[in-house]
Structure 1
Amino acid sequence: MQKILVFIILFLYCSLAWTQTKPNDSTATAVKSQKNIDFNVMPYISYNRNLEFMFGAIPMMMYKINQADTISPKNLSGASAIYTTNKSYFLALFNKFYFKEDSWRGTFFFMTGNQNSQFYMDDIDTPNFYDYGTKTTVVNFSVQRKIVKSLYAGIGYSYAHYDTTYQDDVQPASKTHTNGLQAIALYDTRDAVYYPTKGEKVRMRWVTFPEWFGNEVNANKILSEYNKYIPMRNGTDVLAARFSGKFGLGNIAFEQQVTIGGEDIRGYSEGKYRGDGLMAIQSEYRYNFNKKMGVVGFAGLATIYGSDTPDFNWKMYPGAGVGYRYKAFKTVKFNVGLDAAVGKDDWGIYFRIGEAF
């Protein structure tokens, strides 16, 4: 029943977008309507050593809530439906909102799926990768208010439900649900939110999972990031740098742990290096060879702590790679693309919606 409901939501969501757009021609993949809505459907294809081949579709639209508001960036709403050859699937809705002359910002995210993945264990007779499957439902939303120029503060809420089983019963099956409250601080001097060429973004989030809020045990997370953007070649290209830190405090559930990979450090897709916290630095050069296309080169280092395998803690894990970018919308610089990266005894291919950071 849950799967049927999700598909109905996705169908209505995409149908609403189509009814508000008017194509310019039959070959265009992105269109602009009289109501200033840009719509695009992007095919999704990727591969990593864990989920194997991934394919699906991502309809997205950009639009203004108030046409008279010339300061707020365009809002972004989208949906995704992805299936993998290891029989995982993911269905999601995602939204970014900007309104009242960018004095208010908001996000909403919903995801449900069944992830067949793996993790590494060495505290048993046969150290190896072991498969696990997790049925997941996640809801997350937040709102931020501008306090002074470039400085925002806000709150958020997240709900997650996990139903996990493990190969060969190496760990007992578990059902976990979490309710998280977030306090958010954001300092943002970027010249654009979807493709910044200069400025900084500093974001701090404190996420708490108290017992009185329906959680089985107390836990806390501190999530931090610092992004810097420097224009190059007279503003045609961008040199971007990032520091990220994810710090788990207290009783962090298996599903809440972090793994090296994703936007923090590309080149790791096996899910081997898992722990309670992570720190990573990386830099990326974004070379635009015409108005619609570009390439990137990136490199970084990461480390973790709180791993069940003590030898993994506080080691340096490098990652580096290259990628291709394509402008998805006509009126806003917003890229999609594909990255290929290598790490320590690992590698991965990543489909990008927007930039890595």
Structure 2
Amino acid sequence: MIFRRKAILVLLGICVSTVLFAQQKESSTDSTQVENKVDFNVMPFLSYNRNLKFMLGAIPMGMYRLDKNDTISPKSLSGLSAVYTTNGSYFLALFNKLYLKEDTWRIQLFALNGDQNSQFFMDDFEGPGFYDYGTKTSVVSAGVQRKIIPNLFLGLTYTYAHYYTEYEDDVQPPSTTETNGLQLNALFDSRDAVYYPTGGNKIRLRWIAFPEWFGNDVNANKILSEYNKFISMSNGADVLALRFSGKFGLGDIAFEQQVTIGGNDIRGYSEGKYRGDGLVALQGEYRYNFGERMGLVGFAGLATIYGSDTESFNWGFYPGAGVGYRYRAFKTVKFNIGLDAAVGKDDWGIYFRIGEAF
């Protein structure tokens, strides 16, 4: 509890500082500082899924240049997120994406504190079905990437996470998990824009190690891979986006480190039923733009998992498809917010988007 309260206070302090900084920067609007000001906006958050129920919150964000003379780097992005759900969960998060030295360096900073009331599926008992659990989570992560050759970045990320999980009806004993993750990553990025690409590729490979010598209880490794391709359509007005995602858990993967089918990899799954050590997913999305600041998307995909405690879930086929609406949030940069609705195998979900799904 003490750790949780301290984390919340730290996050709130950082969040307030970020907002005050953004407002101060935004007030500097004379002709010599136009390029260096913060383009500030507050996004309402409203979403729903079958697990967390209604999700309500706000997301203030700002875009800015760290160096007003650097017109090659994408604009940096800072923001915070405060979300409450009607099943009693809450999340406070701070996020930063910083681009420096003509896009030679990329830095990401992230912090989260939350209490998630969720569910998982078990069939080990006479009455298989969903069981509730609650996880108190605190995460802090910092990463840096360096451009080695054109379009290729190599990087290192450190992530600390603390979880305390309690299960309904004591189907499993309460658990405390503390992890220290070291991530080596490689990124090939030939996109023509980082926030709304209309062409190019984003290929990312990450190896995350949780070694015992680094303060972890057991050795575990995760390999995360993704390949995103963007194709300009209708003479540049629209975009066809294609994605492959593979997440592979190796060693002793903790319950909180497992993956569930859903989210960006395959929309249409929100119950948290299909959980395992790894997954593979394919997805395609057509992005249709109309007017100056609006658009529609249609998407479909297919996923599978392995390492599930429910043997019949392993290597099954799980399709998902849906549609969504997009609205351009900033005037100077193509950056969308939106809402998606999707259906999956005996499941469905509604997703509020900050940026594109991939």
CA distance in 2, matches of 1:4, 1:33: 34
Deviation track 1:220-270 (CA, whole Å, cap 9, x = no partner) reads 000000000000010000000000000000000000000000000000000
Q: 1:34 Cα deviation (Å)? A: 6.7
Q: 1:141 Cα deviation (Å)? A: 1.6
Q: 1:33 Cα deviation (Å)? A: 5.7
For 1:289, the aligned partner's letter is: F
Q: Is the 8 A contact 2:11 2:111 kept in 1?
A: no
Q: 1:198 Cα deviation (Å)? A: 0.2
Q: 1:14 Cα deviation (Å)? A: 1.4
Q: 1:35 Cα deviation (Å)? A: 3.2
> Which residue does 1:184 correspond to in 2?
185
Q: Is the 8 A contact 1:219 1:251 kept in 2?
A: yes
For 2:180, the aligned partner's letter is: N
Q: Is the 8 A contact 1:336 1:351 kept in 2?
A: yes
Map 1:39-188 → 2, pairs under 5 A: 39-188=40-189
- Give me the TM-score of the superposition, normalised by structure 2: 0.96
Please point out which of 9, 15, 18 is paired with 1:10: 15
Map 1:196-345 → 2, pairs under 5 A: 196-345=197-346
For 1:17, the aligned partner's letter is: A
Secondary structure in 1 aligned to 2:36? coil
Secondary structure in 2 aligned to 1:20? helix
Identity of matched residues, %: 70
Deviation track 1:27-78 (CA, whole Å, cap 9, x = no partner) reads xxxxx96732100000000000000000000000000011111110000001
Deviation track 1:311-333 (CA, whole Å, cap 9, x = no partner) reads 00000000000000000101000
Secondary structure in 2 aligned to 1:311? helix
Q: Is the 8 A contact 1:21 1:34 kept in 2?
A: no
Structure 1: any 5+ residue segments left out of the alignment?
A: 25-31
For 2:289, the aligned partner's letter is: N
Distance 1:144 1:5, change over 3 A: closer
Alignment: residue pair count: 350
Deviation track 1:148-181 (CA, whole Å, cap 9, x = no partner) reads 1111111111110000000000000000000000
Q: Which runs of 4+ in 1 moved over 4 A?
A: none
Q: Is the 8 A contact 1:139 1:159 kept in 2?
A: yes
- Give me the TM-score of the superposition, normalised by structure 1: 0.96
For 1:162, the aligned partner's letter is: Y
Q: 1:137 Cα deviation (Å)? A: 0.3
Secondary structure in 2 aligned to 1:336? strand
Q: 1:140 Cα deviation (Å)? A: 1.4
> Which residue does 1:27 correspond to in 2?
none
Q: Is the 8 A contact 2:36 2:66 kept in 1?
A: no
CA distance in 2, matches of 1:23, 1:65: 14
Q: Is the 8 A contact 2:105 2:147 kept in 1?
A: yes
Deviation track 1:103-146 (CA, whole Å, cap 9, x = no partner) reads 11111110000000000000112101000000000111211111
Secondary structure in 1 aligned to 2:26? coil
Secondary structure in 1 aligned to 2:303? strand
Q: Is the 8 A contact 2:161 2:179 kept in 1?
A: yes
> Which residue does 1:351 correspond to in 2?
352
CA distance in 1, matches of 2:275, 2:230: 29
Q: Is the 8 A contact 1:109 1:141 kept in 2?
A: yes
Greater shift in the superposed pair: 12-21 or 340-349? 12-21
Structure 2: any 5+ residue segments left out of the alignment?
A: none
CA distance in 1, matches of 2:20, 2:28: 14
